[in-house]
């Protein structure tokens, strides 16, 4: 797409093929097209490479495309002085060697005609059909005259949207960038660096995601040479020194071949040298490198089962390094990659990495989506339904990218977000409670899962369950986790504890409330807003609670990793500035509200005249098993037998005091309630407590944290037998997901 000249220092990583003489191709281009009954000589290399992968391919359309491209570009030259036609020819040869089908090669020959010549898209469509026209249009740059500084990001946006409908668009773009990087040497250093940075930030991650490793590795080396020239030269010297010393992997490769022959396994064993950047990274990681660190063994077999047979023989006959084993056949990578990875120790203790895959897996590993041919061709003659295009090459990351780019209308936001998104180089799969599945980048949280599943509906998310357990929205998800997002209007599956704090879960509604809200009850206990989630704010004029719109809090931006989530949250916050409003009066420090004190405990202790009190850490009630300990001043503190304080007292050598329950039916107990916040939550809880016949001695409600509210109640019951019913009534309050007896002092 640009007329950069050939770099004298550029190295071709293709082995086993005659290098292309660009000057010869240029002379052939100047001589014009050949006769009608044969292909032009200039595309002979392309025809040979294409026929190697597609023996029955019809090459006439390639000749026709070449004639149009050559005539259109005639008189145009690259900055090195070569005819411009050499560029589309080289790009087409790169794709032909990867196994691209005829339509892709045709579009590749024409990919610069609409951008740089008088050829129009209508002419391309009339001559070569809609598919070729779509591919050419997809890789055609937008004019700087029309878009100014936004031309580059908007061009990439256009290409990515086109790639969403046909991944062959990006295949052509990657090959185009590879040839331009190979021939970047005569450009000004600052322009080389600018192009190399864009290649590093955008094109290389896209090549990785599309699985085109052959292009990705060469692009990495070319970028490495430009952006880190000193490290590149140092790495090149190290590799040259190792090559002079002789191939150290040959003996191990021969041992592997002999082992597989004796096991009657047909396999091809080849040595795969590491590319420059890979050697550089390994050197930084390992320090001093051995000869075997400069390459890997690649074992190619015919069937999937043979891969595991090879693995078994290697692990039987050699010493395996178990930590290096990875099975990407049973669990392929998100970019179509499949292979077994292992490592074995050689006779001298050197570790040798081994890749095991079938020939088809190897083809896909090298060429990625290019190796799939035309993924949109009709299957068994059946055309896809109107408006529906089954695309096996559109993974989750591409679908997510296409979704969030629609919201990033500003070019700078799109460009920055695209680079950040592509920098996340791993993908995880999480399962939904209803049986679906989400693909997310590694490091994604429940916030990201909520927006991936519900879009803008995730604004009302109030919590999540991860692998069956309640979790905060900031929880980082792992590969294979099961997640259930809890919206304000969705049912909450929460644990239901019995009187002793243990028990099974029960389902109840989370209510129709919005996000975590504060509430204030006439009793004086206040749920404050910690400057995070949208809470009840006060009208400055009257000091009365005033609801704000439900929605995400600014802290959600700290938890979000995906662009879709961040853009949606930022958009909501911008549209609802009142959600950021700070209350006129700062939240009061939570404190206990005391309705009265009971001076005599309903217990009998074996210490005459001793003052007795029930421990606040576990607040025992009849018929709990209890024990007592004498504390300062001669008082006896009574604990439940399972209270952690009992173990501490015993460890300190404190003698226990015999305790028994008296005849009084009344008792006092401390309960902890965990809930998602909402308006009137405190009022509903106190109403449930009053209806159960209990009196509130004291209440403490902590400020919301991670969208959860913790309540501590000390209650006076007329009869301990009513405690299980009281706890059930509290759990049935919408938004409350756990009620339990006090076991220890509340966490600060």
Which of 143, 108, 142 minimizes the C-alpha distance to 128? 108
Phi first, then psi: give them for residue 354, nearest 5 degrees.
-130, 135
How many helices, marked H, and strands, marked E, lie in the chain? 27, 25
* Cα–Cα distance list, 213 to 209, 398, 489 (Å): 9, 18, 46
CB 596 within 8 A of CB 697: yes
Which of 96, 76, 98 minimizes the C-alpha distance to 87? 76
CB 504 within 8 A of CB 498: no
CB 399 within 8 A of CB 405: no
* Cα–Cα distance list, 328 to 109, 332, 363, 398, 440 (Å): 35, 5, 15, 21, 18
Specify the DSSP class assigned to residue 270. Answer: E
Residue 684 catalytic?
Answer: no
Other CB atoms within 10 A of residue 524 CB: 10
Angle at 188 between CA 185 and CA 194, to 5 degrees: 95
| Calpha distance 671→493 (Å, rounded) | 21
| Calpha distance 121→69 (Å, rounded) | 13
| Calpha distance 656→673 (Å, rounded) | 31
Residue 609 catalytic?
Answer: no
Extract the tokens encoding 514: 């919005």
Secondary element (H or E) of residue 715: strand 709-717
DSSP state string for 60-129: HHHHHHHHHHHHHHTT-B-TTS-BTTHHHHHHHHHHHHHT--HHHHHHHHTTTHHHHSS--HHHHHHHH-
Extract the tokens encoding 277: 């950047």
Phi first, then psi: give them for residue 701, nearest 5 degrees.
-120, 115
Which of 274, 280, 275 minimizes the C-alpha distance to 292? 274
Query: Which among 82, 97, 112, 116 is annotated as catalytic?
Result: 116
SS (HEC) of 345-370: ECCCCCEEEEEEEEHHHHHHHHHHHH
Cα Rg of the chain (Å, integer): 35
| Burial of 566: CB neighbours in 10 Å, binned 0-12, 13-18, 19+ | buried
Specify the DSSP class assigned to residue 667. Answer: E
* Cα–Cα distance list, 183 to 12, 79, 82 (Å): 11, 10, 11
Beta bridge partners of 705: 708
Query: Mapping DSSP to helix (H, G, I), strand (E, B) and coil, where does residue 493 land?
Result: strand
| Calpha distance 682→16 (Å, rounded) | 76
Alpha helices (H) along 485-639: 556-559, 563-575
Query: Which among 115, 231, 255, 304 is annotated as catalytic?
Result: 115
Q: Which residues are catalytic?
A: 115-116
């Amino acid at each position: 797409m640009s007329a950069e000249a050939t770099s004298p220092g550029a190295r071709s990583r293709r082995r086993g093929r005659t290098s292309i003489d660009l000057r010869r191709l240029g002379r052939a281009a100047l001589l014009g097209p050949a006769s009608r009954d044969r292909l032009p000589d200039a595309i002979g290399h392309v025809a040979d490479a294409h026929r190697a992968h597609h023996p029955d391919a019809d090459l006439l359309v390639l000749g026709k495309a070449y004639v149009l491209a050559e005539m259109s570009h005639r008189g145009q030259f690259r900055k090195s002085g070569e005819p411009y036609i050499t560029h589309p020819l080289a790009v087409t040869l790169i794709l032909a060697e990867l196994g691209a089908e005829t339509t892709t090669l045709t579009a590749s020959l024409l990919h610069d005609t609409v951008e740089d010549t008088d050829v129009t898209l209508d002419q391309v469509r009339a001559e070569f059909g809609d598919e070729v026209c779509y591919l050419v249009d997809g890789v055609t740059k937008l004019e700087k005259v029309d878009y100014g500084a936004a031309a580059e990001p908007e061009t990439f946006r256009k290409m990515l949207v086109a790639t969403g409908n046909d991944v062959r668009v990006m295949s052509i773009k990657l090959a185009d960038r590879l040839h331009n990087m190979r021939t970047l040497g005569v450009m000004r250093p600052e322009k080389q660096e600018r192009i190399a940075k864009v290649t590093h930030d955008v094109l290389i991650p896209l090549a990785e995601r599309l699985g085109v490793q052959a292009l990705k590795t060469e692009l990495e080396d070319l970028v490495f040479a430009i952006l880190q020239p000193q490290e590149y030269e140092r790495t090149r010297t190290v590799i040259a020194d190792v090559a002079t010393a002789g191939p150290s992997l040959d003996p191990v490769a021969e041992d592997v071949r002999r082992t597989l022959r004796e096991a009657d396994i047909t396999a091809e064993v080849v040595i795969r040298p590491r590319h420059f950047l890979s050697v550089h990274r390994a050197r930084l990681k390992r320090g001093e490198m051995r000869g075997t660190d400069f390459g890997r063994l690649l074992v190619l077999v015919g069937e999937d089962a043979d891969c595991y047979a090879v693995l078994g023989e290697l692990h039987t006959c050699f010493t395996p390094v178990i930590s290096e084993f990875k099975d990407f056949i049973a669990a392929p990578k998100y970019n179509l990659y499949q292979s077994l990875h292992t490592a074995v120790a050689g006779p001298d203790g050197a570790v040798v990495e081994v890749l095991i895959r079938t020939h088809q897996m190897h083809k896909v590993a090298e060429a990625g989506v290019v190796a799939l041919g035309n993924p949109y061709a009709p299957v068994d003659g059946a055309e896809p339904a109107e408006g529906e295009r089954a695309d096996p090459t559109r993974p989750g990351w591409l679908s997510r990218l296409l979704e969030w780019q629609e919201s990033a209308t500003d070019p700078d936001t799109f460009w920055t977000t695209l680079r950040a998104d592509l920098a996340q180089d791993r993908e995880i799969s999480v399962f939904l409670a209803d049986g679906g599945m989400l693909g997310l980048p590694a490091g994604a949280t429940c916030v990201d899962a909520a927006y991936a599943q519900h879009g803008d509906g995730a604004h009302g998310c109030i919590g999540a369950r991860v692998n069956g357990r309640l979790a905060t929205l900031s929880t980082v998800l792992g590969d294979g986790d099961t997640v259930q997002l809890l919206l304000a209007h969705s049912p909450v599956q929460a644990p239901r504890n019995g009187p002793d704090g243990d028990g099974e879960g029960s389902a109840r509604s989370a209510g129709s409330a919005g996000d975590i809200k504060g509430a204030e009850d006439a009793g004086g206990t206040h749920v404050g807003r910690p400057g995070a989630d949208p809470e009840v704010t006060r009208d400055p004029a009257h000091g009365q609670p005033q609801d704000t719109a439900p929605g995400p809090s600014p802290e959600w931006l700290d938890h979000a990793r995906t662009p879709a989530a961040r853009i949606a949250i930022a958009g909501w916050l911008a549209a609802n500035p009142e959600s950021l409003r700070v209350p006129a009066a700062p939240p009061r420090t939570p404190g206990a509200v005391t309705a009265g004190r009971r001076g005599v405990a309903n217990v009998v202790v074996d210490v005459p005249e001793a003052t007795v009190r029930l421990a606040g850490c576990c607040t025992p009630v009849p018929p709990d098993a209890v024990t007592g300990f004498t504390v300062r001043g001669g008082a006896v503190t009574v604990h439940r037998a399972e209270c952690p304080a009992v173990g501490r007292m015993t460890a300190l050598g404190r003698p226990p005091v015999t305790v028994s329950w008296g005849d009084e039916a009344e008792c006092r107990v401390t309960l902890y309630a965990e809930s998602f916040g909402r308006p009137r939550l405190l009022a509903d809880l106190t109403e449930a407590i009053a209806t159960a016949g209990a009196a509130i001695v004291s209440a403490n409600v902590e400020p919301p944290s991670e969208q959860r509210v913790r309540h501590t109640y000390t209650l006076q019951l007329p009869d301990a037998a009513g405690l299980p019913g009281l706890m059930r009534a509290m759990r049935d309050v919408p938004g409350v997901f756990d009620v339990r007896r006090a076991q220890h002092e509340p966490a600060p």
